Structure 1
Amino acid sequence: MSLVTKPFPLAALIAVLAAPSVNARALSIELKNAAEVVTITPASLKLDWQTTNQTSMTVNSPNLTVNGKPQTINQLVQPSPHQAEWTLKPSNIHVKASLKDNLTLSFSLDNNVIIARNHPMTLAWFDLPQKETQTLYLPFSEGMRIPINNATWGKYLEQNHSGANTTQDLKMPFWTAKNSDRYVTVQLLNATNNRLVFSSTQKQVDMFASHQFTPLNQTEPFDVQISLDDQRLDGAKRYRQYRINQGLATPLAEKIKTTPNVAKMIGASQVYLFGSDGISPEDVVNWWQLKDWYFTRSTLAIPTEANKELKALTQGKDWLSHYHKQLLVDSINASLRTKYPAPLPTLTNNGIAAQFKAVQLRKKWLAQHAQPYLNNSKKWGQALSEDMIASLKNSGIHKLWLGLDNWIPAFYQPEMVDKAKQAGYLVATYDSYNTAIPLGLNDGWLTAQLPNAMRKQCAIELADGTKKKGFRGNGYYLNPICDLKYVQQRVKDIVKYGRFNSLFLDVDGTAMAREDYHAKSNESQMLNGFNNRMDWIAKNTGVVLGSEDGNSLTTTGTAFAHGLETVGFGWTDKDMKSNKNSPYYLGRWYPDHKPDFFFKSAKVKAPYKTLLFAPQYRVPLYQTVFHDEVINSHHWHSDSLKFSNVQTERDLISMLYNTPAMIHLSRDEAKSVNSPRIKALKHYQAGYEPIHQQLWNKQLIDFKWLDNKGNIQQTRFSDGSIITANFSGEPFKYGQDQLAAHSLVAELITGEKVYWSSKAFN
């Protein structure tokens, strides 16, 4: 049956709907606003938009169902030319439509409808009009540009993103589609309880969206806003303005007023320091005497592996390899943890003060008993040591964010934290309150060492009655609304004893919203829980706060984020995960002080190499919204030096969008200003710092290609500054200049020009 294309008069519609028949599914109505007309088929939600120049385009294909079943319509009314409302049957979902600049759709459930706990009502409402669409712009990361007729993209989206939610997975709750010469943006005003499905039919990308009404959210309407624009960034600009209008945006300039240290993020590259124990091989001055003392006079409990591998070795006969030296140091550190353990936390005592005391006792005891074989205890450390801070300072790098993967290094050497802060750096620890594991299961996973009572009472209960398993199936994921006072006190204690002026709070910024049937909190309330927790930390501790992703729904209180410039990918790919002979193998998760996973160089395999890193498939959606609000960088799994065969692309994209580099450092990689990673950090800083100093409080307002292949790209900022990047291997004639291969120039409004090229540092 073909759909009726000419709208019925309203009186005729009402007559038909009074006695619904199959023909009612084909009836359509018109909404008018000035010269624009939107034709809606209520039962199928086919949407056709006639613009001011009389051209018409389909912005939604007809495919509406509820729980997989087509609907009829009832109670249709149109109180004005730009408004209409009706009820879907038999689901009893009430729909309102309004055309004022944008088309707004609102779906709400009748109060009399009863939804069973494990049987949500699924409204499938969006179907991408494939024939009319040329390109999709999706914020699954910073921004993906997806040609509809690209079969590789279709397969990738189907395998990796089908079933994605629009809170955590979609980093901002909108998408834009190029339709003829216009851009159609769909913004989810209620971003929770939604799913996206992708398919690659007929070698084309297709996308569908649905919303679920559940017992916990059924009183919340589901609202959608659809707009037509002229440029690919206009949808992102609309979302930015929406956040401003709703009071959700807090620019960095405002954050500096309440937390002055946020200013230290301006122009600062970002560094993770690895290693969490008291001493490292660099602290040993006499290996054989240290080994002899450890096995014969220390009285420490010695691990089995050390007894097996080290005890029988003798000076003059054997050789202490790098492996032996590291094992000796690791064993001493482990023995000290056994000698001075920290008590497990309880709801009334988080154990942070006890951890600090235990760490100081380990350090004091070792200094008293093994000092002749080690350098001065003030110089000890793995992630944080005096020589590391000196190398960074002496390299001429004055602005840095330094992150530790836990707070123990700062407990060993709080004076080094002070020295780093005196150098102008921000020093942060990684922290998290989203997974709790049974106490004693993995004592090295500090953030998950939460009281058993909290693990049980705060665990998220799913609709089927089970508790949500935590990270990698360990323990349980927790509801952020639960036991907030415990979190607040632990954060305060970590900041106090570690002397931190920054904090990285994992997961909270990802908008990982779930329904919790134990607490009877829905996804919207959980998002509020994350935001309230981050807001409290930012306002009550004085730290510069950051979180994972910096998802648009959970940015309250944050000044920076890690994740969107390079997202995690290929989690189940065998070559990347487990094939140690593959050039794509990401590496082992050890040794603890310098895990291969973070430091080993790897290549990126197809199709990730092209789809995720080719500049032709990237677009700065996130930076259009957040450039002057949240400073985003790579996910810590993938620092700027991780991937050898896409380093140039990542470098230039980062500089083009004006986002900071991220470098991982271990103590042996930071011995001198001439170490490759220090030199790389200095090179990134030479380009990023002067550009960001000018642009940190400016909006990214334009993005375009200067050629037809996307090898030459340009961003423009609200002050008039322009950055132009040459991704090709050939020089490009740009004005009166030659822009070298794999380089860029930033033409700042001040008249300064900053030239920068991507370089390899091996």
Structure 2
Amino acid sequence: MKKLSIYLGLAAITLSLSGCNVNQTNATNKSEKLIVNNEIEKNKTYAKTDFSFDVDPATFTVSITENGETAEVSKPQAPKEVTDLKKSKEEVSWTYPNEQLKVKLKREKNHIAIALTSLSNEDNSFTWPKLDAKNYVLPIAEGKTIPNDQKEWLAYFKQNEELSMSEAFSMSFFTTNQETFATTFVMDNPFNSELLAKTEPHLTLEASHNFIGFDKNKTMNYRLYVTDNDPVAIAKTYQMDRINLGEFKTLDEKEKENPEIKKMRGAIQVYYWNSRILTTEDIKWGKLPSMVDQPIFQWIAELLTQYGEDGSEEYLKALEAFKTNEGYKYEKNTFLTSINYVLLYPQFYNKDIFKKPDEQAQKLIDKGIYTLSEQERYTLNKHLLASVLGELTPPIEQWGQATSSDVFKEMKASGVENAWIGLPNWANGLMNPTMVKTAADEGYLIGPYDSYQSIQENASIDWNTASFPNKNLYENATVTKKNGEKVAGFLGKGRKLNPTQIFPDVEERFTGIMQNKIPFNSWFIDTDAAGEIYNDYSPEHLTTQSEDVAGRLKRMNYFNQNGLVVGSEGGNDFASKNMVFAHGIETPVIMWSDPDMRENKESEYYVGSYAALDGGIPTKYKKVVPIKEEYKPIYTDPVYSLPLYKLVYNRSVITSHQWEWDSYKIKNQVGERRMKEYLYNTPPMMHIDKAAWEEHKQDISENAKNWSPFQKAALQHEMTDFKVLTDDRLVQKTEFGEKLSVIANFSNTDYDADGVKVVSHTALIMNDGKETVVKTEG
């Protein structure tokens, strides 16, 4: 891994604050609003109005003429029978009787409105447009520019011949670059649509649309825009389309509804791993050998045998090893994992084992074991355990704090002013509420990972997100395919839940978690913005993909209304109004299907497993791995990357990496990704436990001191411009308003032009005359 260092130029980046009195503040607010309004006004100018179009109904060929140049922007299909043809100066319509489809094209001021309407009450499909261009601009993740003959992209599309647009596309458009202009096909939404690819003799694409028989909406709407061959023009035109649809909401607007969102500005993104309330620091290991025959340790074995997914065999072996003073690292971890695991069990209380509960435990027992909240249950179990461990552990209020609360205090003291902290499960917080309170007291956002994607019939305690008190959900609220099969859950376990059927269960889970006032101030919902959506053919609850998404947005909005800063996996823009942050736009999951990365544990590319022997970061998130050369153009190479999403949503959604691919994950790309994080205004993300904090704290804290003011400044504006400054595309520039810009030099040679010099493998940040260099050293 490269060592990173930050060299400051004239001064650190600072935000220009406007004095203390109210008049100055109001004046500044008006000034900032005027600047933003001017930026939006400019964005209205990118879509061309001086073009004409022609269409051949039989082949559905669409041609655009602009400035004397004509291009077939949708290529001919096999001729079809046409009826009901009507044509005027501004409008053409017809019917394909055999396909049971009505088509209408209408010339509007700055686009062509195209409507495809199914005339069938059964499921129906239609493929259009057919694209054949030298280059494509697609909103895959943050955005890609794809030459039609690039070998790695050809290999990618050969393996992925059919892409679900709702899942693979972060935004609802696709663009072809013609010789002298670009044509962008914008959809209302990407639901029930696929992108079909052919790779011989070069890359060609077709869009396929499925009309669902029970869907009342039978129309697929396109708006076809003409712009310059410039990603800024393409993205800003799409942004105006979303604004016109009422599908755009700024962070400023979201912040007025929930002031906690302000804490997200300038925050680094941290997944914090502390799954143990009792840690190795909390056990006086020298005392354990004389205690292992006590009833509590045998009781733990019984609980593991009855309820543990892996049983008690390894735990009992560890106890035997301690008896002979042969309990080493593995045995200590097995012992700690077992104890922390059984503390989650509602069956933990046994009056024959815990004969002298302390006052707090007795109050909870008197309340009734099975009436306790989840947090109260954990509190009871901790106090029960403490009552029999004696001097083996410190006082209960110290359990686990050296590896959690103390780290957050140190983060703040080191200069990390803003942070979002994600816990892998709400149980981690309920077991250690002091940790959550400490993070909130330090001014950080902290919240749990939550998921409503899957349900299992008999989920283990490790899969609490796949478990619900309502046992009818497994049969009555899961998604059915058209052929009658149930859709399998995550990793093939259980089933997928229909979000329209479980809102009361969402409320029940949330109120249960929060009933003891744990100060979570953020919530992360897995997959809701990832586009993995379904048509549910269950006769009792027929559900379209649009209704599926509406159910997801309803629950996201529920968390918003409860004052939480909401994020989700993916970040696809159908959820842009309902989320504040998203994980997966900048670096999505890299190649689920590669066995070297996912199955072959001997491969250097193996990303790791979900297991963590020491209760800390699983190897899947901690292990540093290279990625194969053929994947770099698809996922990380700046040559093929475009900040399309940021050009549209910089002021609306804060996006970062998917958690499997944090800022430190990819071998020999830490520095390059750091540069790109500034270029694209992408928060750094890392997985941390106490050991990882010790390893990275100097780099994290030094970078955070610069990142926080940089992002706070960048979020005041649109990303107003993006330029490629060299023919090899390895020197790129972004602008955020008139005073803040970033030039990243990904090449091996220094860049020197227009009075600006950027050394190779560095990024130069310029803010109102002040300069900061982000540099990597070998």
Do they fold alike, i.e. is TM over 0.5? yes
Contact 1:384 1:416 in 2 (8 A): no
Distance in 2 between residues matched to 1:383 and 1:615, nearest whole Å: 41
Alignment pair present for 1:666 and 2:689? yes
One of 709, 714, 719 as aligned partner of 1:695: 714
1:524 aligns with 2:538: no
The residue aligned with 1:328 is 335
**Residues 290 and 122 from structure 1, CA distance in 2 versus in 1: closer, same or farther, beyond 3 angstroms?**
same
In the alignment of these two chains, the number of paired residues is 693
In structure 2, give the amino acid aligned to 1:288: G
Asked whether the equivalents of residues 122 and 212 of structure 1 are also in contact (C-alpha less than 8 Å), the reply is yes
1:298 to 279, 296, 316: 296
In 1, Cα distance between equivalents of 2:292 and 2:691: 24
Q: Does 1:89 align with 2:97?
A: yes
Q: 1:390 to 1:58 in 2, by over 3 A?
A: same
Match of 2:658 in 1: 635
Please state whether the residue corresponding to 1:444 is helix, strand or coil.
helix
CA apart distance, 1:726: 1.1
- Residue in structure 2 matched with residue 620 of structure 1 by the alignment: 643
Structure 1 residue 340: Cα displacement: 4.1
Structure 1 segment 27-176 matched on structure 2, within 5 A? 36-51=51-66, 53-63=67-77, 71-78=80-87, 80-100=88-108, 101-110=110-119, 113-115=120-122, 120-129=123-132, 133-160=133-160, 162-176=161-175
Q: Distance in 2 between matches of 1:757 and 1:135?
A: 33
In the alignment, structure 2 segments of 5+ residues that lack a partner are: 1-47, 305-311, 350-369
Matches within 5 A, 1:173-572: 173-202=172-201, 204-217=202-215, 219-230=217-228, 231-284=230-283, 286-299=284-297, 300-302=299-301, 303=304, 304-313=312-321, 318-338=325-345, 340=347, 354-381=373-400, 385-439=404-458, 441-450=459-468, 451-497=470-516, 498-518=518-538, 519-539=541-561, 541-572=562-593
- Note the C-alpha offset of 1:734: 4.9
The structure-2 alpha-carbon separation of the partners of 1:365 and 1:730, relative to structure 1 and needing over 3 Å to count, comes to: farther
Once the two structures are superposed, residues 190-240 of structure 1 have per-residue CA deviations (whole angstroms, 9 ceiling, x without a partner) of 4221111112111x2111111112212364211111111012222221221
Shift of the alpha carbon at 1:523? 1.2
Cα offset, 1:423, TM superposition = 0.7
> Which stretch has the larger CA shift, 407-416 or 618-627?
407-416
Quote the offset at 1:352 in angstroms: 10
Q: Quote how far apart the aligned CAs of 1:598 are.
A: 0.8
Change (3 A) 1:738 1:290: farther
The answer (yes or no) to whether the contact 1:405–1:429 under 8 Å persists in 2 is: yes
1:127 is aligned with what amino acid? K
Structure 1 moving runs of 4+ over 6 Å = none
Shift of 1:729: 3.1
Question: How far off its partner does 1:496 sit?
Answer: 4.1
User: Once the 2 structures are TM-superposed, how far is the Cα of residue 472 of structure 1 from its aligned partner?
Assistant: 1.4
Q: Deviations over 1:23-60 (max 9, x none)?
A: xxxxxxxxxx9863211111211111111x21111101
> In the TM superposition, what whole-angstrom CA distance separates every residue of 1:270-308 from its partner, at most 9, and x where no partner exists?
000113232121222x21313542443535322533455
CA distance in 2, matches of 1:339, 1:503: 25
Q: Which amino acid aligns with 2:218?
A: E
Change in 2 beyond 3 A, CA 1:382/1:167: farther
Contact 1:594 1:666 in 2 (8 A): yes
1:635 shift after superposition: 0.4
Aligned to 1:10: none
Amino acid corresponding to residue 531 of structure 1 in structure 2? L
Kept after mapping to 1: 8 A contact 2:373/2:515: no
TM-superposed CA distance for 1:728, in Å, is 1.9
8 A contact 1:531–1:555 mirrored in 2:
no
Shift of 1:584: 0.7
What SS does the corresponding residue of 2:343 show, helix, strand or coil? helix
Equivalents in 1 of 2:736, 2:715: separation in Å?
A: 10
Aligned mates of 1:372, 1:730 — CA distance in 2 = 63
Question: Does the residue aligned with 1:363 lie in a helix, a strand or coil?
Answer: helix
Partner of 1:346: none
Per the alignment, in what secondary structure is the counterpart of residue 248 of structure 1? coil
Provide the secondary structure at the position in 2 that maps to 1:301: helix
SS in 2 for 1:452: coil
Q: Which residue of 2 is the match for residue 645 of structure 1?
A: 668
Would you say the 8 A contact 2:342–2:348 is kept in 1? no
Q: Deviations over 1:407-453 (max 9, x none)?
A: 112112212211211111001101111211113x3221111112321
TM-score by length of 2: 0.85
Kindly indicate whether the alpha-carbon contact (under 8 Å) linking 2:86 and 2:94 is maintained by their aligned counterparts in 1.
yes
1:36 counterpart letter in structure 2: F
Q: Quick one: which of 682, 694, 705 aligns to 2:701?
A: 682
Is residue 595 of structure 2 the alignment partner of residue 574 of structure 1? Answer: yes
Q: 1:46 to 1:218 in 2, by over 3 A?
A: farther
1:755 partnered with 2:755: no
Identity %: 27
Letter in 2 for 1:334: Y
Q: TM-score, normalised by structure 1?
A: 0.87
Shift of 1:262: 0.2
Indicate how the Cα distance of structure 1 residues 415 and 94 shifts in structure 2: closer, same or farther if over 3 A, else same.
same
String of CA shifts for 1:558-581, please: whole Å, max 9, x gaps. 111111111012212121112222
* 2:638 paired with 1:608: no
User: The residue matched to 1:508 in structure 2 has which SS?
Assistant: strand
- Alpha-carbon distance in structure 2 between the residues aligned to 1:192 and 1:247: 18
Gaps of 5+ in 1: 1-32, 65-69, 343-350
Task: State the SS of the aligned residue for 2:169.
Answer: coil
* Residues 536 and 34 (structure 1), Cα distance of their counterparts in 2 relative to 1, 3 Å cut: closer
Alignment-mate amino acid for residue 580 of structure 2: A
Q: Contact 1:252–1:697 (CA<8 Å) still a contact in 2? A: no
Contact kept, 8 Å, 1:275 with 1:382, in 2: the verdict is no
Q: 1:709 to 1:318 in 2, by over 3 A?
A: same
SS at match of 1:310: helix
CA contact (8 A) 1:109 1:218 kept: no
3-state SS, counterpart of residue 225 of structure 2: strand
Structure 2 CA distance for partners of 1:102 and 1:720, relative to 1, 3 Å: farther
**Higher RCO, 1 vs 2 (CA within 8 Å, ≥6 residues apart):** 2
Distance 2:232 2:755 in 1: 29
The two structures, once aligned, show a CA RMSD in angstroms of 2.2
- For residues 599 and 402 of structure 2, what CA distance do their matches in structure 1 show? 27
| Counterpart-to-counterpart distance in 2, 1:432 and 1:283 | 32
Q: Could you say if the C-alpha distance between residues 455 and 384 of structure 1 is closer, same or farther in structure 2, counting changes exceeding 3 Å?
A: farther
What residue is the counterpart of 1:585 in the other structure?
Answer: 606
AA in 2 matched with 1:532 = K
SS at match of 1:506: strand
The one-letter code of the counterpart of 1:281 is T
Which range moves more in the overlay, 302-311 or 704-713?
Answer: 302-311
In structure 2, C-alpha distance between the alignment counterparts of 1:389 and 1:305, rounded to whole Å: 36
**Does the aligned pair in 1 maintain the 2:590–2:635 contact within 8 Å?**
no
Q: State the SS of the aligned residue for 1:72.
A: coil
- In the TM superposition, what is the alpha-carbon distance from 1:72 to its structure 2 partner? 1.0
TM superposition shift of 1:735: 4.7
